[in-house]
Chains A and B, each alone.
Chain A
Amino acid sequence: MSWQYKLTSFAGAAAVATMMSGTFLTPATAEEIVLKMAVPDWPPTRIMKDMFDKQYKAPSGNTVKLEIDFIPWPDFYTRVNASLTSGEQKYNMAVSDSQWLGAFVEGGYFRKINDLIDADPALKAAMDDMHENVRNAYSTYPHKTANFYGFPQFPDVLVTFARKDILCNEEEQKNFQAKFNKKLPCTGEELDDLDWEMFENIGQFFQRKKGENLAGKPADDDFYGIAYQAGKGYDFSSMQINGFIWQNGGNTWDETQAPKGQAEGVVNSPEAVAALDHYLKLIQYMPPVAKTGTMDIFKSDELFREGKVALNVDWIGLGEASLSPETSKVSDKLVFGQAPGTRGADGKMIRWNNIGGQPFVLMTWNTDTQNKEAVDFVKWWLSKPVQTEYASKGGQSAMKSVYSDPNYVTYRPWNRAWAPSLDWQKDVWHVPQFFELLTQQQDQFDLAITGKQDAKTTLDNVAKFQQNLLTEAGLIAP
């Protein structure tokens, strides 16, 4: 416990005392409650703040203010982590990446919310209405148990961003058919049927130098067919590679099997190695920045918006910028589909992917009043009209009653891919060792992406490290 904390709590006590003495002097009015919240700075949270400010009236009659710190994504973990572990107790709520739950629950920062849900039928109904995969990923710790910690704030999945003007061009269609004897996907439905093999074909097909013919015109710059995340930062390759591994029948270390589940033999299984090989093989067709290990989710999105690639697999959360002519050169040429999958032996698509998006959480140091107001706010947030409006403004909802509405697909062009994708979402590592697991894995994947080591060595190293770390932590029985 730091001396700063003591000082602030002393100052806080003094402030409360002053306020209380104030209430004796002035006639009692509605209280003003401030909820401080740390969130990443992007459209899904900006839209929430905007809706809150314009619409929210607390049912208690109090004036509730949402004071939000908008933190840029690349610094988000570091800032929230520093605030929580320093003991400054600055925030009452935070948007938390799903994988942080273990670390911050064990640290004693995130409050268990089972009692709040059980005490409130409306809230319970809202949580029950949530898609099971989303609820498991965002709310539960240990993973897939009935211990709840988070309310969904913005659920997210990977989708395929694509260029209609390029893909639907007749000449390109004809040439593609001639070369691969397949139809180049052009509509949303055709993109839904996109597997990694076709994805690779498109990558091979669209490798145009500046000045070469591209959809009937000379290309104004080098042009590429495909892109996905392959960056060293945060989780900017794992989130794609996990999908490859699961689709190929491999697995990541399964926290629900602890302490029996192993890392060695699972993480570096032949299926997983083949999957990583497949992921690495496609990088040669991507914009050359992928070879430097800095093509993260923002870079591939930027390349797509600047009109340098035909297909990009990225999070819906980043999609808003591609629709606006101010930030996108391709805003009027877009078509979206589900993220590519792997075709199984029976010809059916296997689409396992890592879930994105975030829950919000309450802190353990909140007062009862703050918790009450926070729960009211969450209830408002998870009410059907608000979720529907949020979706119509560019957010997403994981509530069945909201996303199964026929209008839902009309809100945003990618919404048609939303509901079918949800059934194929998994998540990794809600354990406290999450960040160690992640940084080591990202380092190793980066070595593979930049061509320093092969898939087998990479996954062997990852498996060895995980086995060692998790055994030490007691999550794998020796």
Chain B
Amino acid sequence: MTSVALSPPAPDFKTIAPDNWKLAIVVGLVVSVLATLILPANAAFWVVGAMAAMVAASFVVNAYRRHYYGGLLVSPAIAVLFVMNIFPLVWSLGLSFFAYQSNQQNIRFVGLRNYQQLLTNDLKAPELWANLTNTAMFVVLTVAAQMIVGFLLAVLFAKQFPLRKYLLILVLTPMMLSVVAVGVFFSYYYDPTFGLISQVIKAWGGEQFILMSNKTGAVAGIVFADAWMWSPFVMLLVLAGLVSVPKYLYEAAAIDRVSGWRRFWTITFPYIRGLLMLALLFRTIEAFKMADLVILLTKGGNDTMTISYHVIRIANEQNKTSEGAALSYLLLFVVIVLTNLYLYIANRRSQGA
């Protein structure tokens, strides 16, 4: 059976048919532009939405009549992606060119002023820069701590020893806890009066220990809490790599009397490199977005404000929607550049290997 032969010919551009997607696009565009110009914003929004739905429907009917079943099958996913992801993205990009506050009714086009303010205003720009450097510091410190601890834990748990199974569950627990619980737990842990650390130090004859009273202490406190929570995640990924190394390679290496160091670099490492890179990528992206632990432990005090917390403040608490959107786009730009750099380096490495 040849489905191609059975499919009807595409309708002429000028005929009104449900599968005439070219005409639908043109009509949709014209009506949308007219509606935006003439109707009040409220009504225009729905007209444009209806036009988008019409074009989408014509695509679907067309795909059905032409038997493009592959396209039909992915269309729900594309629809969800569009509604939940692409539309808000474009919408917020649009917002970043306006002066708009979510708790006020007026809106005004200001072009690139929001971006310009963020980058050059003598009150806002230094704050942004300080928050970015703090974030970079947290990214480097937390990810390094997690990679090292996670890797060492994985090497430990790759071996067999008594109670391994139960210890593994214990080590994985922090990752499954809610961040809020971890934050509250650590804020008590570090508390100079009630806290465990302070009590232990005092028991040794020292003074009360105030960890969070300066930047070094506050950063150490946050990094430790974050590493405590997320090192198990790195461990899990690395462990998966470690157990996938075929035993016979080690046996062959043992026969050749290869040194332990060399065995690691030539056999073990190539197997876990991909997973290590994946862990690094995941943790870097997460660390870049860190706000929760900072809010819970210091509220941004002692110069620990991160860029995400800054965005939350501007966009959610101060209702400066447009400025928040502009800031988010600056961040998105930074993340895209960083991710591409990372992928470029990762690819070059794997080609070189």
Contacts and interface: CB of A to CB of B under 8 A. Distances in A.
Interface stretch (B27-35, B100-108, B160-168): B100-108
Interface string A17-42: 00000000000000000000000000
Nearest to B215: A452
Interface string B51-68: 000000000000000000
Given A107-B104, A291-B210, A85 B319 contact: yes
Contact of A78 (B45, B194, B303, B316): B316
A308 interface: yes
Contacts of A78: 316-317
Contact of A288 (B102, B210, B299, B316): B210
A133 interface: no
Of A210, A289, A294, A450, most B-chain CB atoms within 10 Å: A289
Contact of A432 (B103, B301, B302): B103
B308 to A, nearest CB: 15
Interface string B109-122: 00000000000000
B313 interface: yes
B301 A439 contact: no
Interface in A210-265: 210, 221-222, 231-233
B270 interface: no
B104 A1 contact: no
Contacts of B298: 232, 292-294
A293 B103 contact: no
Contacts of B102: 85-86
B318 interface: yes
Contacts of B218: 292
Interface residues of B, number: 34
Decide if the interface of chain A is mainly helix, strand, loop or mixed: helix
B103 A84 contact: yes
A269 to B, nearest CB: 21
A231 B212 CA distance: 13
B210 A3 contact: no
Contacts of B299: 231-233, 293-294, 446
Given A1-B45, A81-B319, A436-B318, A450 B301 contact: yes
A172 interface: no
Contacts of B316: 78, 81-82
A450 B104 contact: no
A464 B123 CA distance: 10
Contacts of A232: 298-301
A106 B104 CA distance: 6
A294 B212 CA distance: 9
A380 interface: no
A107 B192 contact: no
B97 to A, nearest CB: 19
A185 B104 CA distance: 51
A288 B103 contact: no
B213 A291 contact: yes
Nearest to A104: B103
A445 B49 CA distance: 48
A287 interface: yes
A294 B49 CA distance: 48
Nearest to A224: B193
A443 interface: yes
A325 interface: no
B350 interface: no
Contact of A292 (B42, B103, B202, B212): B212
A287 B213 CA distance: 12
A432 B316 CA distance: 14
Interface string A291-310: 11110000000010010100
5 contacts: A81-B319, A232-B300, A289-B191, A294-B298, A439-B313
Interface of A: 1, 3, 6, 77-78, 81-82, 84-86, 103-104, 106-109, 210, 221-222, 231-233, 287-289, 291-294, 303, 306, 308, 432, 435-436, 439, 443, 446, 450, 452, 464-465, 468
Given A1-B45, A291-B213, 14 more contacts: A1-B42, A81-B319, A82-B316, A103-B103, A221-B193, A232-B298, A232-B300, A292-B192, A292-B210, A292-B213, A294-B212, A303-B193, A435-B319, A439-B318
